[in-house]
Structure 1
């Protein structure tokens, strides 16, 4: 009898483990592969093929700064149709690194991909222009239970010799391909790439 009880307990535990394995599994996301170079900003340069961008000297790029909520690996969303003031975390989904780290890496990589020499703040030399970026918004919002979009708003400032040269706010909103964490990650990556293209065009319009 005792052996039968033990056997039943083992079978029950195995069944429970099997049920648990079929439940929601934790998933991490990032921005994925960088892909092809961004289109040349010929309209902003006044030339063709982004010539002034490629001829730009090296630039120091600081890491993106932002609110404490973006310095966490948790993924958040808002239900605009229910309570737009509440930011809710996904229960089983998270970022591989923080959004601030992902945006920093992606923006630097995209700018370098366009032919600009990117220098970190720790390796910078005197006289190089400095680009600072601050994220004001990085969010996925649901307009309904089946439709969501992602938005990023970023304030960028260029300094030269400790003096502000120019400052501009860039905002991108992209419809998510699906109303879930995967769709939000995809749309936020597209927003970041779009802002990188906007920043490149802006840099190209500045006096060298």
Structure 2
């Protein structure tokens, strides 16, 4: 019994076979079959969904925490940026050997949230291991009678957050931040200290995955540097 064709190409091939059996229109059906195959091969591929990245889960709860005296409480403000590309979720890179002033986004890679928010989340996770960390807005709600001295306020400005290629096969994750520590008094804000932090870590591969890993390591190292700086400042 003749088997029913499973698709349009099989149908054309079946008809071509029958026509060729009679010796008529064989060439015409053969050409139609070729055009059908070419048309199917030219169909657009299914759109690829961009990969979503973050900094990972951070320290696991099962890890042992070093028993040290708690540090003074601290309030952290939102991490600011200079605006523009750092306010979206693109994973960015620079080709320093072509044009180091041009930021380029990976087309199939995204952060789970804007980099400034990722950095702030990581910062709070790290600092809260040894001190109480408040949101900046929570400072105003603290009872001044019970807390005559309000926590210092830490502000961060994220200035650079990209994968920097110095050669086609050599790149680093680069983060640049400015940390500013303020004391809020009844007379206004007073500068306690300020520090510029620039950290880079080598990428293991010249793609978005390598860049994300390098930026995660650079961010952790930058936060560690800020944490050590805060601990070295004189106590109030």
Please report the TM-score for the alignment, with normalisation by the length of structure 2: 0.71
Displacement of 1:139 in angstroms is 1.4
Structure 1 vs Structure 2 CA RMSD: 2.9
C-alpha separation in 2, matches of 1:182 and 1:91 = 13
C-alpha separation in 1, matches of 2:108 and 2:78 = 28
Which segments of 5 or more consecutive residues in structure 1 lack a partner in the other structure?
A: 41-48
Runs of 4+ residues over 4 Å off in structure 1: 8-17
C-alpha separation in 2, matches of 1:65 and 1:10 = 56
Q: Is the CA contact 2:79–2:120 (under 8 Å) kept in the aligned structure 1? A: yes
Q: Which residue of 1 aligns with 2:176?
A: 153
Q: Which residue of 2 aligns with 1:86?
A: 102
Displacement of 1:25 in angstroms is 4.6
C-alpha separation in 1, matches of 2:104 and 2:174 = 16
Q: 1:32 to 1:202 in 2, by over 3 A?
A: same
Q: 1:143 to 1:116 in 2, by over 3 A?
A: same
Q: Which residue of 1 aligns with 2:120?
A: 104
Is 2:135 the partner of 1:120? yes
Q: Which residue of 1 aligns with 2:45?
A: 20
Q: 2:157 aligns with which of 129, 134, 144?
A: 134
C-alpha separation in 1, matches of 2:106 and 2:193 = 37
Displacement of 1:35 in angstroms is 2.8
Secondary structure (helix, strand or coil) at the match of 1:20 reads coil
Q: Which residue of 1 aligns with 2:71?
A: 56
Secondary structure (helix, strand or coil) at the match of 2:97 reads coil
C-alpha separation in 2, matches of 1:156 and 1:65 = 11
Displacement of 1:65 in angstroms is 0.7
Q: 1:50 to 1:140 in 2, by over 3 A?
A: farther
Secondary structure (helix, strand or coil) at the match of 1:134 reads strand
Secondary structure (helix, strand or coil) at the match of 1:154 reads strand
Q: 1:34 to 1:13 in 2, by over 3 A?
A: farther
Is 2:197 the partner of 1:164? no
Secondary structure (helix, strand or coil) at the match of 1:34 reads coil
Secondary structure (helix, strand or coil) at the match of 2:160 reads strand
Q: Is the CA contact 2:175–2:200 (under 8 Å) kept in the aligned structure 1? A: yes
| Count of residue correspondences | 190
C-alpha separation in 1, matches of 2:122 and 2:100 = 28
Q: Higher mean Cα deviation, 124-133 or 182-191?
A: 124-133
Q: 2:215 aligns with which of 185, 188, 193?
A: 188
Q: 1:63 to 1:50 in 2, by over 3 A?
A: farther
Larger Rg: 2
Q: Quick one: higher RCO (CA 8 Å, sep 6+), 1 or 2? A: 1
